[in-house]
Structure 1
Amino acid sequence: MKVMAFDLDGTLARSKKPMHKPMADALSQLTRLLPVAIISGGTIDLVRSQVTDMLSDEADRSHMHLMPTSGARYYRWNPEDDDWQEAYEHNLSEEDRRLVIESLERHARELGIWQARTWGPRIEDRGSQITFSALGQQAPVEAKEEWDPTNEKKNRLAEAVQKDVPHLAVRSGGSTSVDISNRGVDKAYAVRKLADMLGVTVGQIAFVGDRMDPDGNDYPAALAGTIAIRVTGPEDTLQLCNRIIDWYNRNSR
């Protein structure tokens, strides 16, 4: 293992919530030991608010690689601007975005999962990705986690939308979400790009995620050949990170 890559929601933090301090401290320590990537279905703003804004002063941001919207965008730290700088983006066409938004609403209504009450927009156009959030982007974590614990509702919606847009990639995302992006631009694409940029093999990247099931959006990273590590939540991830930090500390003396 020469690189560690992490999913965000359900792995480093609960849905749309900032990392807790112990997780932020552990991730900060990891950045001083090896390159660290965040590969999330969320936007760069969410990656900032949930992850990078929470890092301690110990963090080495130059060792971090931010790949939001499932790798459709990529950001590196620019010390001159003291900010994250976009290196590439793969946006959906206007026509594809229109088709996806119409399909999501139509099928969600047909399947009975177009909720009357939501916390914020159900459908978000992220440019490089369209995301459907059944309860709205700002729904309470508890409500999200209770809505579809078996992922059956999301998977049915993803299957229905995929038939309308076969040229795009439709994936079951976080606890209440379905993500749509250009085909071939997913977490498998992200880890391959990351390997090329860092001069390592995909098999030298450890990818940590909570949705490694075949319908989950972390599954492509596992299929790509990473060292796939499935976790059950942020507490599990924290234990993993602490074990890795302890190993480095013992073996670097």
Structure 2
Amino acid sequence: MKKYNTIIFDLDGTLAVTKSPLTDEMGQLVAQLTQKINVVIITGGRFEQIKKQVIDRLGENVVRSNFYVLPTTGSSMVAYDSKTKEWNYVYRHELTNEQKERIINGIKQALEQASFSINPDDVFENQFEDRGSQITFSALGQYQKPEIKIVWDPEQKKRQELLSYMNHLEDEFALNLGGSTSIDVTLKGIDKEYGINEFYKTTALQIKDGLFVGDKIFPGGNDYPAIKTGIDYRETSGPEETMEIIHEVLQSYD
């Protein structure tokens, strides 16, 4: 494998099971990576969620100045300030209240038109999450068990059907599948392609030296826009394969 100076990861389905923290082994590997290269997480979640899932699992060996977060599908960027020892937003694009309401109403209308229904007994906590710069719809609720989520829409057909009823929103918003039951909605033009390009504009790094790793690199998947940047990429089947990719990257520095 060629030597990369930056590796950009999707989170759910790539580094960890949906909404779950990194395993001890994955946390150690990601921390090892930060000792060699820059590590970036780009995902649909809020920074607070990513901190719990990832940052808090990296231990004492992590080099925080080499770690970046692009929350809410790249609509914001967070970096570590070594002087203040705090995580700060570099940029953040918020949705207006009117835009949020239009998105939520559009999803509710799509659910009414869909050929399938969702049993309320299968929904655990809220289906809609306001992430500031993104609205996320989780069909079975934000905190349903991963093993239940993963079998609900394995071929993405249900969510693709919902998207087909939401095309009236596409003039203003970007609609992407996320996780195993989610639809992520941001302002149009703000997706993982945007986030990755903004990361490289903000830093002194070059995209030719970066690698993207994700599990949804297919049309409609929320990782697909990332590869439009021209960045090298590897598709993964899940955390186990991702660990193999990380080992390859680390070995290139031996």
Q: 2:186 aligns with which of 181, 187, 198?
A: 181
Q: Could you tell me how far apart the structure 2 residues matched to 1:156 and 1:248 are?
A: 45
Query: Where do 4+ consecutive residues of structure 1 move more than 4 Å?
Result: none
2:229 maps to what in 1? 224
| Partner SS, residue 96 of structure 1 | helix
Q: What's the C-alpha RMSD, in Å, of the aligned pairs?
A: 1.3
Deviations 1:5-24 (A, max 9, x none): 00000000000000001110
Structure 1: which amino acid aligns with 2:119?
Q
| TM-score (structure 2 length as normaliser) | 0.94
Structure 1: which amino acid aligns with 2:138?
S
1:202 maps to what in 2? 207
1:135 maps to what in 2? 140
Q: Is the 1:121–1:136 contact (alpha carbons within 8 Å) kept by the matching residues of 2?
A: yes
1:241 maps to what in 2? 246
1:82 maps to what in 2? 85
Q: Is the 1:195–1:205 contact (alpha carbons within 8 Å) kept by the matching residues of 2?
A: no
Structure 2: which amino acid aligns with 1:159?
S
Q: Could you tell me how far apart the structure 1 residues matched to 2:209 and 2:157 are?
A: 33
Deviation of the 1:45 alpha carbon: 1.3
Q: Could you tell me how far apart the structure 1 residues matched to 2:199 and 2:6 are?
A: 9
Residue segments in structure 1 that go unaligned for 5+ positions in a row: none
Q: 1:116 aligns with which of 109, 120, 133?
A: 120
- Range 79-88 or range 26-35, more displaced: 79-88
Q: Is the 2:133–2:186 contact (alpha carbons within 8 Å) kept by the matching residues of 1?
A: yes
Between the two proteins, what is the percent identity of the paired residues? Answer: 33
Q: Could you tell me how far apart the structure 1 residues matched to 2:85 and 2:225 are?
A: 33
Q: Is the 2:170–2:188 contact (alpha carbons within 8 Å) kept by the matching residues of 1?
A: no
Deviations 1:47-102 (A, max 9, x none): 10110000021110100111100111111112344331112100112211111001
Q: Is the 1:134–1:177 contact (alpha carbons within 8 Å) kept by the matching residues of 2?
A: yes
| Partner SS, residue 138 of structure 1 | coil
2:156 maps to what in 1? 151
- Range 162-171 or range 87-96, more displaced: 162-171
2:196 maps to what in 1? 191
Structure 2: which amino acid aligns with 1:147?
W
| Partner SS, residue 252 of structure 2 | helix
| Pair 1:113–1:65, CA change in 2 (3 A) | farther
Q: Could you tell me how far apart the structure 1 residues matched to 2:164 and 2:209 are?
A: 32
Structure 1: which amino acid aligns with 2:36?
L
Q: Is the 1:92–1:129 contact (alpha carbons within 8 Å) kept by the matching residues of 2?
A: yes
Deviation of the 1:115 alpha carbon: 3.5
1:43 maps to what in 2? 46
Deviation of the 1:110 alpha carbon: 2.3
Q: Could you tell me how far apart the structure 2 residues matched to 1:131 and 1:61 are?
A: 28
Residue segments in structure 2 that go unaligned for 5+ positions in a row: none
Q: Is the 1:115–1:134 contact (alpha carbons within 8 Å) kept by the matching residues of 2?
A: no
